[in-house]
Amino acid sequence: MIAKNTKIYIAGHRGMVGAAIWRSLEKKGYTELIGASSKELDLRNQQAVREFFQAVNPSVVIDAAAKVGGILANNNYPYQFLMDNMLIQNNLIDISLHTNVEKFIFLGSSCIYPKFAPQPLKEEYLLTSSLEPTNEWYALAKISGVKACEAIRKQFDRDFISLMPTNLYGPHDNFDLQTSHVLPAMIRKFHEAAKDGHRAVVLWGSGTPMREFLHVDDMADAVTFAMENRFEDNLYNVGSGVDLTIRELAELIQKITGHQGLISWDTSKPDGTPRKLMDVSKMAEKGWKASIELEAGIRETYEWFLQNIDQVKEVKI
């Protein structure tokens, strides 16, 4: 058991995932939570990270820090998505190995799995064929982190594990249309279009790809569960186990935002991976499953968006 006064460092605690993990751990009564903003600590700087660990001496490290974005951002900035993420995770993993860290939880993404892997995605499908080209740079970085944690378990018998979430959404998401993922981008588009006389909303692709979504509070609950329990394996998928088409998602968000205009699909734009449904049976066997239903979760996220719209960066649509 992990004591409630254990020093727990959450890298990326200001981001959507990190903030949710912080809330989850606080609710569970953990009192020694540690965070540092990107201005306070550049995780790409090895010496700075080493000095920070020496100062705070955490026993548990949760790596929720990453450079993230959608198809557009991944296509436009491949080097940064590869190198920045490798620098961040390598510093955290290596310094955790060589200090007093008892448990390390590495968070990745379902994009680590091959583009045409069988569905649902099982953990053993990792590295069995080629990746989706539109986000391979981010995926390659995350795969290297998974393998680094696996190597540490194998060579040093340390409790380093990797959790791979499906597409996440929720409060504190990124709603910038140039860099956001599909669900928050749709919320922003439909909201703005409804305000602007219910004009038509143009969405990328055909609408036929299928995607699975997990509320970030469910993800945080999974991380807390993994922290409090010993896992035998290195890699675990975290998802809802349910998916829907992008078209169905658009229609759901259209209903929630009250948009009454047309939806137009720009089929000249890429669809990305045809389907990405996670096999979540390993987490279920450990005793964890998601609990937040998609429509209820999107409604909550939209309410958060409306309450924080002044802080959401304005971007021309």
Residue ranges for the known binding site are 12-18, 107-110, 142, 165-168, 181, 189, 204, 211, 271
CA–chain centroid gap for 112, Å, is 12
User: Which of 9, 30, 113, 138 is the catalytic position?
Assistant: 138
SS (H, E, C) 34-78: ECCCCCCCCCCCHHHHHHHHHHHCCCEEEECCCCCCCHHHHHHCH
CA–chain centroid gap for 52, Å, is 24
Q: Give the max Cα distance, the chain.
A: 61
219: its two tokens: 């993800």
H-type alpha helices, 229-275: 246-257
CA distance 206 to 212: 17
DSSP 209: -
Evaluate whether 138 touches 107 at the Cβ level (below 8 Å): no
How many other CB atoms are found less than 10 A from the CB of residue 105? 24
CA distance 194 to 192: 5
191 CB-side CA count, 13 A: 21
Kindly report whether the peptide bond that precedes residue 58 is cis, defined as omega within 30 degrees of 0.
Answer: no
Annotated binding site for substrate: 189, 204, 211, 271
Question: What type of residue is 236?
Answer: Y
Evaluate whether 125 touches 114 at the Cβ level (below 8 Å): yes
138 is catalytic: yes
Strand 201-204 and strand 263-266: the pairing is parallel
Q: Which residues are catalytic?
A: 138
